[in-house]
A and B are shown apart, each in its own frame.
Chain A
Amino acid sequence: MAETNLVKTDVLVVGGGAAGVRAAIEADAGGADVVIASKGPLARSGSTPLAYPTFQASAGFMDARDCPDVHYQDILAEGKGLSDMDLARALADEAVDRYHDLERYGVRFETEEGRILQSHYPGQTYPRNLLIVGGGFGMVSGLRNELRRRPRPRIMEDVVISRLLLDDGEVAGAVGLSLRDGRFYVFQAKAVVLAGGGYEALWENMDASRDCTGDTITLAFEAGADIIDLEMTLYYPGVFAYPESLKGILIQYETILGKQYFDFRLVNNLGEEFLKGPLPGRDVLMRAIYAEIEEGRGTEHNAVYVDPRRSSKSPEEIEKMIKRFVEGPDKLWRKLGIDIRKDLFEICPAMHYTLGGIRIDEKTRTSLPGLFAAGENSSNVHGANRIGGNALAETQVFGARGGKYGALYAKKRREVRLSEAEIKEEVSRLNGIKEKKKGGIRPLAVRDELRKLMDRYVGPNRNEEGLKTALGKILDLKENGLPRFQAVGRRIFNSDWSMAIEVSGTLVLAELVVRSAIQRKESRGHHYRSDFPESLPDARHTLVRMKDGEVRVGYADVTRLG
């Protein structure tokens, strides 16, 4: 057996984004010994660095009537019956305190004439989004600096955690591969906090980072934890579909297509404007674009065109609008070959945020003792739709709670034991993935095929037939693609090897997403089923769980407060 390195700690945090770093800070503040393991460089991977700068907290700077109660009610209204009320309560109640923490860590917020700004987003009763200077990267840089100021937490970067370890039904640590030395690490921990982000990268059309492959959700599922609402995935209507260098970059469709702003027109490959009347809401717009593509009127790159030349606005008006709304992005777009003043360009809907994940309670406890989860990989505070600004707030409220309750749990727990057999099994699985084999393939082809089929059958417009087709194809990839994975080359920073580990996890997770989407026989929020277009009277979570080596699919009640 290849030698493994043992790392002992009280709390192991998995994930180096905003939720993970916040959890590590809080666990350290709680007196626990902390190790934070990140798949990429800390604060530089996952979704946080590319998050929009909005942090929702009812500080009431712009309107004194705002308060946590109103924030709470807004979350429930947008969640369409699927928000767990204990989680929504925690988010609304603590977002302001967590904002003050960020200020103490050195994160700055936009001001105007000395007053802190809060912008008004759809779904908010009062303007509530604080604007972080430097966006998501600005926020997570401040968090990273705070973590580095603390002498005790140990930071391990470029470590792919691939399996959780159990001690008599209680989570006791994890196994991972360090890309930096090509060696295996065994983490022995009294509590594990998962903060590995969402699973947008299961789809090709997405605007998140390529490393958002939902690894920690798969880890939790395979260890036996309850996973809910995986079918609840939030789309953004318009991102560039082409060229490759701009693919997945978000277009502010509200202004680009808005009649009162740019008034650019959506056009199919027959040159027809297919939107009639005023610009519809997000869901209707997405389905209209998707219908054109599905019915063969899309572009080469499975998108539709935006035609600036049909705008009713004069070039001078357009120039003014560019200055006002997209001055910075316009410079980048032009550098990369698209001038929105005159070029026909292609856009498509894209996966923007994933609402499903590991089920948690208000103390971030999962259904497995010793296992906690925070941030996008946990579920379900937002419900069937999320208000812009609540994602970054969620990372801080639940990240802090994860660190706090993880540390408390670790304090009460006696020494943990690890199973040598389990470790050996995982190490041999990981080595097996790398090994050269007869008929061996790179993981790349399977990854791309999976992402394409998720786009095609598990997009914004779903039905049972398509979902069952997707399920069959995923099971086929699992059976015939996965066992042939190999990674040529050496051990250190072998990208094919880490991708093969990633893809072996995404195949498991994709199956769960599809099974959950089949299970939800209704339309609600961002889950639209053309064969069940109405919402059922009672909202329930869909639930997947591993039992005796098999996937069980069912429902779970939404947590309600009196």
Chain B
Amino acid sequence: MKAMTVERDATRPCHACLARAAEVKGKTPIDEVTAMEEFIQARIARYSPDEHKKWIEEFKVPLSTGMTFQTLLRYIYENMDPTLSFRDYRCGRGSCNTCRIKVDGKAIKPCATPVGSAKEVLLEPAGTKVIKDLVISYD
């Protein structure tokens, strides 16, 4: 298996996001918590079972208010790469552990873990039975 690195820039989707954020600013106090022009560099361990291929892919994602690792993954899937697979189920309260992944080597619950102030993170599947990308089997 060959490892490779692909970098993607989210400049375009981010414009709309910034414009919206500017509009909202001043209306809701909580919007001021996060400076909107910040980005996070997400390095994701990808695996394509169809092609038997593994690689690390980088995404430059605009940070948004209260962003969790789950909304980060959702952002990438919806705006940057439709082929990214992860478990988007949610109890939303960090109790069922279905969405779990590893961030910088540590298992976390994406729905209940804010991305915080990290500039660069490595996201990997949190299990040995990997089906595709971050999706694992619980058998």
Interface residues of A (CB under 8 A from B): 40-42, 44-45, 49-50, 134-135, 137, 157-158, 179-180, 182, 209-211, 242-246, 248-249, 269, 299-300, 305, 329, 332, 335-338, 343-346, 442, 444, 487-496
With A157-B137, A490-B50 known as contacts, the answer to whether A332 contacts B29 (CB < 8 A) is no
Is B91 touching A50 in the complex (CB atoms < 8 A)? yes
Is A137 touching B96 in the complex (CB atoms < 8 A)? yes
Residue of B70, B78, B96, B132 contacting most chain A CB atoms (<10 Å)? B96
User: Could you tell me the distance in whole angstroms from the C-beta of A84 to the nearest C-beta in chain B?
Assistant: 31
With A299-B28, A343-B29 known as contacts, the answer to whether A244 contacts B93 (CB < 8 A) is no
Is B82 touching A487 in the complex (CB atoms < 8 A)? yes
Is B114 touching A335 in the complex (CB atoms < 8 A)? yes
Main secondary structure of the interface of A (DSSP, over half): loop
Is B98 touching A49 in the complex (CB atoms < 8 A)? yes
The CA of A365 and the CA of B65, in the complex, are separated in Å by 48
The CA of A392 and the CA of B23, in the complex, are separated in Å by 43
With A41-B138, A336-B68, A490-B51 known as contacts, the answer to whether A49 contacts B27 (CB < 8 A) is no
4 smallest beta-carbon distances between A and B, as pairs: A243-B66, A337-B66, A489-B83, A490-B50
User: Could you tell me the distance in whole angstroms from the C-beta of A490 to the nearest C-beta in chain B?
Assistant: 4
The CA of A300 and the CA of B94, in the complex, are separated in Å by 27
Is A49 touching B132 in the complex (CB atoms < 8 A)? no
The CA of A180 and the CA of B30, in the complex, are separated in Å by 41
A-B CB contact pairs (8 Å), 19 listed: A44-B89, A44-B96, A49-B91, A49-B96, A209-B89, A209-B91, A243-B30, A245-B71, A246-B66, A269-B27, A299-B27, A300-B27, A300-B28, A332-B112, A335-B113, A337-B114, A444-B78, A489-B82, A491-B50
User: Using Cβ atoms and an 8 Å threshold, which residues of chain B touch A493?
Assistant: 49, 85, 131-133, 135
- Other-chain contact of B89, A42, A179, A211 (Cβ < 8 Å): A211
Is B132 touching A44 in the complex (CB atoms < 8 A)? no
User: Using Cβ atoms and an 8 Å threshold, which residues of chain B touch A442?
Assistant: 82
- Other-chain contact of A495, B28, B50, B82, B138 (Cβ < 8 Å): B82
The CA of A50 and the CA of B98, in the complex, are separated in Å by 11
Q: Nearest residue in A to B92 (C-beta to C-beta)?
A: A249
Is B98 touching A45 in the complex (CB atoms < 8 A)? yes
- B interface residue count range (under 10 / 10 to 19 / 20 to 34 / 35 or more): 35 or more
User: Using Cβ atoms and an 8 Å threshold, which residues of chain A touch B89?
Assistant: 40-41, 44-45, 49, 209-211
Is A245 touching B83 in the complex (CB atoms < 8 A)? no
Is B93 touching A338 in the complex (CB atoms < 8 A)? no
The CA of A444 and the CA of B139, in the complex, are separated in Å by 30
Whether a CB of chain A sits under 8 angstroms from the CB of B4 is: no
User: Could you tell me the distance in whole angstroms from the C-beta of B68 to the nearest C-beta in chain A?
Assistant: 4
User: Using Cβ atoms and an 8 Å threshold, which residues of chain A touch B78?
Assistant: 444
Q: Mark B114-132, 1 if CB is under 8 A from A, else 0.
A: 1000000000000000011
Is A41 touching B98 in the complex (CB atoms < 8 A)? yes
Is B93 touching A332 in the complex (CB atoms < 8 A)? yes
- Other-chain contact of B82, A49, A305, A496 (Cβ < 8 Å): A496
Q: Nearest residue in A to B81 (C-beta to C-beta)?
A: A489
Whether a CB of chain A sits under 8 angstroms from the CB of B61 is: no
The CA of A41 and the CA of B127, in the complex, are separated in Å by 14
User: Using Cβ atoms and an 8 Å threshold, which residues of chain B touch A269?
Assistant: 27
Is A245 touching B23 in the complex (CB atoms < 8 A)? no
Is B114 touching A336 in the complex (CB atoms < 8 A)? yes
Q: Nearest residue in B to A41 (C-beta to C-beta)?
A: B138
With A245-B66, A490-B51, A495-B82 known as contacts, the answer to whether A44 contacts B138 (CB < 8 A) is yes
Residue of A244, A329, A488 contacting most chain B CB atoms (<10 Å)? A244
Q: Nearest residue in B to A182 (C-beta to C-beta)?
A: B50
User: Using Cβ atoms and an 8 Å threshold, which residues of chain B touch A135?
Assistant: 95
Is A245 touching B114 in the complex (CB atoms < 8 A)? yes
Is A244 touching B30 in the complex (CB atoms < 8 A)? no
Residue of A42, A244, A338, A493 contacting most chain B CB atoms (<10 Å)? A493
Is A494 touching B137 in the complex (CB atoms < 8 A)? no
User: Using Cβ atoms and an 8 Å threshold, which residues of chain B touch A338?
Assistant: 30, 66
Q: Nearest residue in A to B112 (C-beta to C-beta)?
A: A332
Q: Nearest residue in A to B49 (C-beta to C-beta)?
A: A492
User: Using Cβ atoms and an 8 Å threshold, which residues of chain A touch B33?
Assistant: 337
- Other-chain contact of B131, A180, A243, A491 (Cβ < 8 Å): A180
The CA of A234 and the CA of B118, in the complex, are separated in Å by 40
- 8 further contact pairs, Cβ within 8 A, besides A41-B89, A337-B65: A41-B138, A49-B95, A332-B93, A336-B68, A344-B30, A492-B49, A493-B131, A493-B132
Is A329 touching B66 in the complex (CB atoms < 8 A)? no
Is A300 touching B24 in the complex (CB atoms < 8 A)? yes
Whether a CB of chain A sits under 8 angstroms from the CB of B57 is: no
The CA of A134 and the CA of B67, in the complex, are separated in Å by 26
User: Could you tell me the distance in whole angstroms from the C-beta of B117 to the nearest C-beta in chain A?
Assistant: 13
User: Could you tell me the distance in whole angstroms from the C-beta of B133 to the nearest C-beta in chain A?
Assistant: 8
Residue of B50, B66, B112 contacting most chain A CB atoms (<10 Å)? B66
Is B82 touching A50 in the complex (CB atoms < 8 A)? no
User: Using Cβ atoms and an 8 Å threshold, which residues of chain B touch A211?
Assistant: 89
User: Could you tell me the distance in whole angstroms from the C-beta of A183 to the nearest C-beta in chain B?
Assistant: 11
Residue of B64, B65, B89 contacting most chain A CB atoms (<10 Å)? B89
- Other-chain contact of A346, B28, B74, B94, B137 (Cβ < 8 Å): B28
The CA of A158 and the CA of B137, in the complex, are separated in Å by 9
Whether a CB of chain A sits under 8 angstroms from the CB of B102 is: no
The CA of A503 and the CA of B2, in the complex, are separated in Å by 36
The CA of A248 and the CA of B74, in the complex, are separated in Å by 15
Q: Nearest residue in A to B74 (C-beta to C-beta)?
A: A244
User: Could you tell me the distance in whole angstroms from the C-beta of B45 to the nearest C-beta in chain A?
Assistant: 15
User: Could you tell me the distance in whole angstroms from the C-beta of A536 to the nearest C-beta in chain B?
Assistant: 38
User: Using Cβ atoms and an 8 Å threshold, which residues of chain A touch B84?
Assistant: 495
User: Could you tell me the distance in whole angstroms from the C-beta of A511 to the nearest C-beta in chain B?
Assistant: 25
User: Using Cβ atoms and an 8 Å threshold, which residues of chain A touch B51?
Assistant: 490
Is A488 touching B83 in the complex (CB atoms < 8 A)? yes
User: Using Cβ atoms and an 8 Å threshold, which residues of chain A touch B131?
Assistant: 158, 179-180, 492-493
Residues from 92 to 107 in B contacting A, C-beta threshold 8 Å: 92-96, 98
Q: Mark B33-58, 1 if CB is under 8 A from A, else 0.
A: 11000000000000011110000000
The CA of A182 and the CA of B132, in the complex, are separated in Å by 11
Is B30 touching A245 in the complex (CB atoms < 8 A)? no
Residue of A329, A442, A490 contacting most chain B CB atoms (<10 Å)? A490
Q: Nearest residue in A to B28 (C-beta to C-beta)?
A: A344
Residue of B23, B74, B131, B133 contacting most chain A CB atoms (<10 Å)? B131
User: Could you tell me the distance in whole angstroms from the C-beta of A313 to the nearest C-beta in chain B?
Assistant: 20
